[in-house]
Amino acid sequence: DQQVKQNSPSLSVQEGRISILNCDYTNSMFDYFLWYKKYPAEGPTFLISISSIKDKNEDGRFTVFLNKSAKHLSLHIVPSQPGDSAVYFCAARIINAGGTSYGKLTFGQGTILTVHP
């Protein structure tokens, strides 16, 4: 059961344009969402996150939007740069029955972003 899905395996964008990466989830108990970037031979690097009580979070060129009713989030990169070329993972954290969270992350399959000069 894939609770976090990234339906686009790859995305190709021209330098300077906007990159939009999408992610859908099915579990309404997720309370926190994160985006990670991964280069080959390196571990995932945290990029940006958003709490379920918000609908937007911005950090420089990166903005994450959350639509809880649609169970959908997206990552916008503006402007895109060749150095942004990497695999992007969407991840979600769940609230336990007691209202706590131990930080277990559920990841999507990833989207390969290629930014062409």
Partner 1 sequence: DAGVTQSPTHLIKTRGQQVTLRCSPKSGHDTVSWYQQALGQGPQFIFQYYEEEERQRGNFPDRFSGHQFPNYSSELNVNALLLGDSALYLCASSFITDEQFFGPGTRLTVL
Q: Is 41 in the site for partner 1 (CB under 8 A)?
A: yes
Name the minimum Å distance from CB 84 to partner 1.
Answer: 18
49 binds partner 1 (CB under 8 A): yes
Asked if residue 101 binds partner 1 (CB under 8 A), the reply is yes
Cβ atoms of residues 48 and 64 within 8 Å:
yes
User: Cβ closer to partner 1: 56 or 104?
Assistant: 104
Taking the complex as a whole, the smallest distance from the CB of residue 17 to partner 1 amounts, in Å, to 26
Residues found in the chain: 117
Q: Does 46 bind partner 1 (CB under 8 A)?
A: yes
Mark residue 3 as left, alpha or beta (left: phi above 0; alpha: psi -120 to 50; beta: remaining): alpha
**Which stretch, 13-21, 61-69, 77-85, 87-95, contacts partner 1 (CB under 8 A)?**
87-95
Residue 115 pairs with which residues in a beta bridge? 13
Of 89, 85, 86, which Cα lies nearest the Cα of 75? Answer: 89
**Distance, CA of 86 to CA of 83 (rounded, Å):** 8
Shortest distance (Å) from residue 42 CB to partner 1:
5
| DSSP-based three-state secondary structure for 82 | helix
Interface with partner 1 (CB under 8 A): 4, 6, 34, 36, 41-46, 49, 89, 91, 93, 100-110
